Amino acid sequence: MLSHMAIPPRHKCAGPPCHISVKVLVEKLPTSEAVLDVELSWDELEKASDKAYRKLVQKVDVQGFRRGKAPRSLLERKLGKEYIYQEGLDDLITEVYRSAIKEHELTPITKPELDAPVFEVSQIGQPYHFSLKVPILTPVVLGDYRSLHFEREEVNVTSEEVEQEIETMRDRQAQWQVVDRPAAIGDRVTMDLKLSAGEQSISDLKNNPFELTSERHGVYTGMDEHIVGMQIGENKTFTTTLPEDYSNEKLAGKEAQYDVTLHKVEAKELPELDDAFAAQADYETLEDLRKATSDRILESKKRRVNNELRDKAVQAVIDQAQITVHPVLVNEEAEDMLHQFSHMLEQQRMSMDQYLMMMRKSREEYLKDIQPAAEERVKRQLVLDEVARQEEISISPEELESLLRAYTQAGYNLPRSEEQLQSIAISYRREKVITRLLELTTDPDPDAETEGAAAVEAASDDVAQTNAVETEAGEAGEEGEAALDR
């Protein structure tokens, strides 16, 4: 797409209309970039050099003259004529660029790439050409998102689900008692364990506890069935096969040799299911506990349904839209994701360098891996912002202040820097957009939260890192343990 812009001269003139002094041809490329081809008249360049002279003469000492008083000819002799013209030209290029992006409503996302020849004396009296290429934010073209509709799933809770949750609670309060019998599934055993594959040592553990299960995954897959039946003090060697998806690709699917010595067997004792058990959870009776558990499960299901509807609605709007994303935006988002992930690793007392070393990846490889997720995040943000524009959704100062109070009541202690406030406001506006999309595309939610409460919960995801990054951070410890065993 080509468009023309004429920047009028910066001086007033009488009589016939002034001629065009600066010509700018703007081409918007399908790669989310704009190319500005500019022709400056000699008059404009001469005026720019005069302006540069007046600026430079205030800064440069010329023998025999006070600052600001030296004639141009002497300043040119001291600095060079080309220097003064180049100084004026640099300022003029900046001025033309700013005018062009404003005139054509371009939104640059990084600095432009300038293709401009250095000024030479031989160019005096001649027009001057230069070009700029700049990545821009391409406006999103939305589809007919108001025609979308999604059914809200009805939720209920069964007695089986309640009893299963209570059994989980009993399991968490179980006591382990030492027994003098062979190990069985469900027992907790303490043993020395050496695991190797050929000449490669994988694990060398001393007095390590394992809860025996028939559904073990990961590096120790297939181990438990060999431990079952062992007696205290017994030593045993056996062979298993490492999982095909083992993190060390060179060892994945290979035979692994175990050498284990069993030191202790403990059996799990569950607490009695009675009112005393309920009292430990601050309920008077077992029935009160069951009722509270049922309510908690129901609330969890409603949240799941609502989150799924949110994701469906937003994804459907994204799928309808025409979106062009420049790689600069994706790279910046990937860097932001890495920064967020690094922060969460620090909370787990692990540095990003340690994580990358355990994953055997470089920083560049990690950034490449998260590029698809970063691109999806950028598309989501662009689409929500465009819906906000079309639906005229904004955040007032009063709304922002109310949200900040809600954050404080929820236990968040947030700094109120300009950057932080802007981030929270953007997250809040996007949350309001999603709420609006649900209003347009689904039946009313009878149990809907207040907008402020929903915004605190959703916007806090953005402040305390997004769900995708949280998931990766949550798995980092487990992956790290497997990597350390290599």
- pLDDT bucket at 8, cuts 50 / 70 / 90: very low
Provide the β-strand partners of residue 129: 39
Query: What pLDDT, in 10s, does the model give residues 264-275?
Result: 999 999 999 999
Give the per-residue pLDDT at 479.
44
| Identity of the amino acid at 428 | Y
CATH 3.30.70.1050-classified regions of the chain: 2-135
Overall average pLDDT of the 21-47 stretch: 92
Across 298-336, b (16+ Cβ under 10 Å) vs e yields eeebbeeebeebbebbbebbbeebebbbbebbbbebbee
Give the per-residue pLDDT at 6.
44
CATH 3.10.50.40-classified regions of the chain: 175-269
Query: What pLDDT, in 10s, does the model give residues 399-454?
Result: 988 988 888 888 877 767 888 888 889 999 999 999 999 999 998 877 665 555 55
Measured CA to CA in angstroms, residue 79 lies from 116, 256, 341 at distances of 21, 77, 52
pLDDT at 297 over 80: yes
Going by the DSSP 8-state scheme, the letter that residue 119 receives in this structure is P
As a whole number of angstroms, the longest Cα–Cα distance in the chain is: 111
The dotted CATH code for 2-135 is: 3.30.70.1050
Number of Cβ within 10 Å of residue 470's Cβ equals 15
pLDDT at 98 over 70: yes
pLDDT at 217 over 80: yes
Return the ∠ at Cα 415 (arms to 409 and 417), rounded to 5°.
Answer: 135
Number of Cβ within 10 Å of residue 270's Cβ equals 12
Query: What pLDDT, in 10s, does the model give residues 126-158?
Result: 999 999 999 999 999 999 999 999 999 999 999
Number of Cβ within 10 Å of residue 345's Cβ equals 20
CA distance 394 to 199: 63
The overall average pLDDT reported for the chain is 87
Give the per-residue pLDDT at 332.
95
CA distance 30 to 355: 38
| Identity of the amino acid at 172 | R
Q: Are 36 and 108 in contact (CB under 8 A)?
A: no
Backbone φ, ψ for residue 111 (5° rounding):
-70, 150
Overall average pLDDT of the 332-354 stretch: 94
Backbone φ, ψ for residue 142 (5° rounding):
-80, 150
Query: What pLDDT, in 10s, does the model give residues 236-266?
Result: 999 999 999 888 888 999 999 999 999 999 9
Q: Which two tokens stand for residue 428?
A: 């809040």
Q: Which two tokens stand for residue 452?
A: 């402020």
Overall average pLDDT of the 6-30 stretch: 59
Residues found in the chain? 486
pLDDT at 165 over 90: yes
Tokens 């690709």 appear where?
A: 249
Give the per-residue pLDDT at 444.
81
CATH architecture group of domain 175-269: Roll (3.10)
pLDDT at 476 over 70: no
Number of Cβ within 10 Å of residue 24's Cβ equals 22
pLDDT at 70 over 80: yes
Q: Are 352 and 298 in contact (CB under 8 A)?
A: no
Element housing 188 (H / E):
strand 188-197
Query: What percent of the chain has pLDDT above 70?
Result: 87
